[in-house]
Amino acid sequence: MVLAGLLGGGVAVGANSLMDGDSNGAGQTGQSETVVVNNKDSVNAVTAAAVKASPSVVTIEVAASGSTGTGSGIILDNEGHILTNTHVVTLGGTAADPTVEVQTSDGRVLQAAVVGTDPVSDLAVIKVDATDLTPAALGDSEKLNVGDTVIAIGAPLGLAGTVTDGIVSTLNRTISVQSSAAPESDSDSSQVPEDDGNGFRFAPPDGSSQDQSSGESSIFLNVLQTDAAINHGNSGGALVNTSGEVIGVNVAIASAASGSAGEESGSIGVGFAIPITYAQRIADEIIDNGSASHGYLGVSVKPATASNSSSTFTVGADVADVVSGSPGAKAGLKKGDVVTSVNGMPVTDAQSLTAAIRMQPAGGKVTIDYTRDGKAASTDVTLGDSAEQ
């Protein structure tokens, strides 16, 4: 709050400029004012960013076999493609063929079809047949700093058009969440989803060994961490910067202990978003091919601990085995190597290596830093396709 007071004068100037530029575009598209601005002479950066980005965020309602769930989505283009989470459109992995409806910021209710889902990244694309849509302006999540102001826009608890703000708390955080791949048939869709389709439950990495080819029950995501209030229903919605550009797709929250009724508490200031640079690649592949690809290294790893330490702190991913003929083997990785980074992204445990590799496309090239017998080294790897393993 002190920092906001010090920067208030400069922020207001930029915010008013952004407001002026956005109001013209909103008028041309005929969209209603979803973010109320009563005093344009006293507009801050959060208000301006929300005015710009809100017309590109929709509320999604999903129904299947008597179960319903609400989430959010981001308009990608004028063709009606909308980015959201897989767990939103599969009701947490219980529905294979749901009915999906979308409500835009100007109040239109539209039928939507699922273009494709990618459970490995928990991203999905749906499509509506509509005109006068406002595609989101996409930013560059690789240019973010810890401490940058961010704004979450979505429909927490079904409350459409909700805006909250905070900062980027951490970059390159790895979280473990339950996979929400849709069932092959709707035979089990009568089961009530644990989170009502509105959001993942956050589960911290358990430190166990993790083979990259395994992941049927859990997935590992490299995410942005923010203290902007995110609740169930924000899933699939936008995390934007102060320029109104989307820099993340809200995906999960960490919750305190469950209440007496077995329900999770709301936001405790620890929320997560998938970086937009990664999400954009996945969305483009889904739109073009109906599915997305993920890299494969071909090593199994376990957490590496500091030498002579009995603590649970980890310092990398210890290679436990290398599959013969795999990309990892061809690059010279050996049992006992400790991987410490992928393309400059820190690797602190087994899960973060899995997340970093699967962020890459099949056939992608990465530089892996590792230590062998206490000496630092690096190698370039052309990744395989995880779908073929």
The answer, yes or no, to whether residue 123 has pLDDT greater than 50, is yes
Which of 102-106, 244-248, 314-318 is predicted least confidently?
Answer: 314-318
Contact 369, 381 (CB under 8 A): no
Q: What is the pLDDT of residues 34-70, one digit of tens each?
A: 788 788 878 889 999 999 999 999 999 999 988 889 9
Cβ(22)–Cβ(51) below 8 Å: yes
129 pLDDT above the threshold of 80: yes
- Contact residues for 277 (Cβ-Cβ < 8 A; gap 6+): 140, 141, 142
Marked catalytic residue, from 235, 293, 326, 341? 235
Per the model's pLDDT, the better-predicted residue between 389 and 222 turns out to be 222
Which pLDDT band, with edges at 50, 70 and 90, does 257 fall under? low
Q: Any idea what DSSP says for residue 192?
A: P
Per-residue pLDDT, 308: 64
Q: Name the pLDDT band for 13 (thresholds 50, 70, 90).
A: very low
- Considering the candidates 22, 56, 67, 87, report the single residue annotated as catalytic: 87
Tokens of 19: 């407001």
The pLDDT of residue 309 is: 63
Highest mean pLDDT among 39-53, 145-159, 177-191: 145-159
| Residue 8 clears pLDDT 60, i.e. is over it | no
Q: Are strands 238-240 and 246-253 parallel, antiparallel or unpaired?
A: antiparallel
* Active-site residue flag, 122: yes
H/E segment holding residue 15: helix 2-29
* Catalytic choice (22, 118, 122, 195): 122
Q: Which of 112-121, 194-203, 245-254 has the lowest mean pLDDT?
A: 194-203
pLDDT at 255 over 80: no
Asked which of 117-126, 140-149, 179-188, 293-302 is least confident by mean pLDDT, the reply is: 179-188
**What is the rounded radius of gyration, in angstroms, for the C-alpha atoms of the chain?**
21
pLDDT of the residue at 94 = 87
Tell me the pTM.
Answer: 0.83
Secondary structure class of 84 (helix, strand, coil): strand
CA–CA gap between residue 183 and residue 72 (Å, rounded): 22
- At 286-335, the pLDDT tens digits run 999 999 999 999 999 988 887 666 677 888 999 999 999 999 999 999 99
Q: Comparing 52 with 176, which gets the higher pLDDT?
A: 52
Nearest to 293 by CA among 301, 283, 303, 302: 283
* Highest mean pLDDT pick, 169-178, 207-216, 249-258: 169-178
Judge whether 211 counts as a catalytic residue.
no
Helix, strand, coil % in the chain, rounded to nearest 5: 20, 35, 45
Helical residues (DSSP H) of 225-322, grouped into ranges: 276-289
Task: Report pLDDT for 304.
Answer: 83
- Residue 131 — pLDDT band, cuts 50, 70, 90? confident
Tell me what the mean pLDDT of segment 382-388 comes to. Answer: 93
140 or 387: which leads in pLDDT: 140
Q: What pLDDT score does 306 carry? A: 74
Residue pLDDT, tens place only, 191-221? 333 433 333 343 333 333 334 333 457 899 9
Q: Which amino acid is at 292?
A: A
Active site residue 81: no
2 pLDDT exceeds 70?
no
Q: What is the pLDDT of residue 307?
A: 67
Cβ contacts of 280-283, under 8 Å, gap ≥ 24: 280/138, 281/361, 282/118, 282/121, 282/123, 283/76, 283/81, 283/83, 283/123, 283/125
Question: Other C-beta atoms within 10 Å of 38: how many?
Answer: 5
What would the two tokens of residue 105 be? 């910021």
**Share of residues in the chain with pLDDT > 90 (%):** 64
